[in-house]
A and B are shown apart, each in its own frame.
Chain A
Amino acid sequence: MWDWNYTWDILPELIKVVPLTIAITLAGFIIASLLGVPLALARRSKSRWFSIPVTAIADFIRKTPLIIQLSVIVFVLPQLIGLSLPPFFAGVIGLGIHYSTYLSEVYRSGIDAVPKGQWEAATALNFKKLKTWIRIIFPQSIPPTIPVMGNYLIVMFKETPTLSAITVVELLMTAKELGSTSFKYLEALTLVGLIFLALSYPSALIVRAIEKRMQRRGRSVLTK
């Protein structure tokens, strides 16, 4: 059943698309991280005309499947506004927008965790709004979110096979193509699984190590 020779033959083919998969993940993550900031701020806005529509849109994006959003970008946008993106860009943008709604929630919890007294101290020192955000609020709200952000990076990496639905040639797509020419799906798909595991498991360990180190640092500062 399992053909070792075939396995060794196709391994290089699969490894070849790993950099692309990682590139999609990182590009999508950067978009999600950047887009998440204004989204989080808009949702916290005191103006309801602003916060309610943004919250509704973000909830809609978060509560519908990524694959449908990707399909809209690739199939509907060209018809609707004549915007036809190459699959790679469509995939990266779709992934980025989808996960920006998750990361905005992470940011929001980080911002809300900053005690009210910090805002009041900034007011008492007569800081302007922007300075308060940059000097006082963000430096305190971002570091605690780093482990959660790391986890989302791994989740996004594992989500990349979804992009095969819009013809991005990533790992799953490559494995399917290999399988369809040789009718040996087992080896190709098993390898894809192992490659994902080989990449995401160490990443998870790194994230956990960062988390532990941050906890320890937090504690040691408190006890010093």
Chain B
Amino acid sequence: MIQNIQINLDSNIDLDKALPQPIVRYRNVTKAFGDHVVLKELNLDIMPGEKIALIGPSGSGKTTIARLLMTLERPSSGTIEVNGEMLWHMQHKGKLIAANEKHLHRMRSSIGMVFQHFNLFPHMTILQNVIEGLIQVRKTPKRQAQEKAMELLTQVGLQNHIKHYPSQLSGGQKQRVAIARALVMEPQILLFDEVTSALDPELVGEVLDVIKGIAAKKDTAMLLITHEMDFARDIADRVIFTDGGVIVEQGTPKEIFENPKSPRLQNFLTRFLSDRQSEPYKANKEIAAGNDL
């Protein structure tokens, strides 16, 4: 991404060709629950393949940004575009009206999400969890779906657990299944909503390593809501700091972590580092090698 931007800056000649269109575009998006405004006039573009880390204190509206895009919450005002098309609105007889379920269904196919609490289907085995979307939604033949699922389960190091049920796995393993389940649908943009926050500290590393592996390999755009600052620094092309429902500051990891400008971000980073004692996550060699524990 950084390289792309540099190319743009260098060559003003062919702007259309050089400037890739954003795949997601938030325009003046506000979200309120009753009187409580969680997101104020948000403007945000996400470029194809871009990896964005979203940091900020709890209740700063980070999760809402992802949930609006996944169509789990409806914006109070403003618009969200995906691939140049309105997500929550559609044309009807020349007027812009609220999107119906059919429109949302079509738009959702380019978006995926991994949740804080995994949300695996407890009545299905690991393999069934991963192939279910392909079979039910993509209408992929079973054999093909299984092959694809196995490939991804191997990638997250769980190829030996396919017949187990989610309740038989550790939190870290569950989250890796959830990542495989989201990836198998091949979304253009994948949302990670505090995916390590519900994990025991010793299990955080294996999940972050898997995400890093995917980020390096795939050109899927990623929006990562995280409290793991080292991880954000390693993985992100751009770091966005939100507080009180607005984007306070954004920039490269270097800019954000080494040279924070706004007092609020400076404050947040100091508080964060002293609170957490900057627990370094450890690379898990076994997972990187694709072997399971």
State the A residues within 8 Å of B (CB).
115, 117-118, 120-121, 123-129, 131, 135-136, 139-140, 221-222, 224
Contacts and interface: CB of A to CB of B under 8 A. Distances in A.
B123 A127 contact: no
Contact of B70 (A118, A124, A131, A139): A124
B258 interface: no
A131 B139 CA distance: 12
Contacts of A124: 70, 72, 108, 111-113, 115, 119, 182
A131 B133 CA distance: 10
A117 B119 contact: yes
B289 interface: no
B108 A126 contact: yes
B133 A118 contact: no
B136 A127 contact: yes
A135 B71 CA distance: 20
A127 B165 contact: no
Contacts of B101: 128-129
A140 B119 CA distance: 13
A136 B133 CA distance: 11
B72 A221 contact: no
B121 A121 contact: yes
Interface in B96-128: 101, 105, 108-109, 111-113, 115, 117-123
The 3 tightest CB contacts between A and B, nearest first, are A121-B119, A117-B119, A125-B133
A118 B137 contact: no
A181 to B, nearest CB: 57
Contact of B167 (A117, A126, A224): A224
Given A123-B70, A139-B123, A140-B123, A128 B105 contact: yes
Given A120-B72, A121-B121, A221 B168 contact: yes
B243 interface: no
Contacts of A129: 101
A6 to B, nearest CB: 56
A222 B185 contact: no
B239 to A, nearest CB: 24
A222 B164 CA distance: 12
Contacts of B117: 117
B132 interface: yes
Given A117-B119, A126-B133, A221 B167 contact: yes
A118 B117 CA distance: 10
A141 to B, nearest CB: 10
A222 B136 contact: no
B181 interface: yes
Nearest to A114: B122
Contacts of A139: 123
A121 B167 contact: no
Interface string B47-83: 0000000000000000000000011100000000000
Interface in B152-170: 165, 167-168
Given A117-B115, A139-B123, A125 B168 contact: no
A137 B77 CA distance: 31
Q: Which of B112, B119, B122 has the most CB of A within 10 A?
A: B119
Given A117-B115, A121-B120, A127 B167 contact: no
Contacts of B167: 221-222, 224
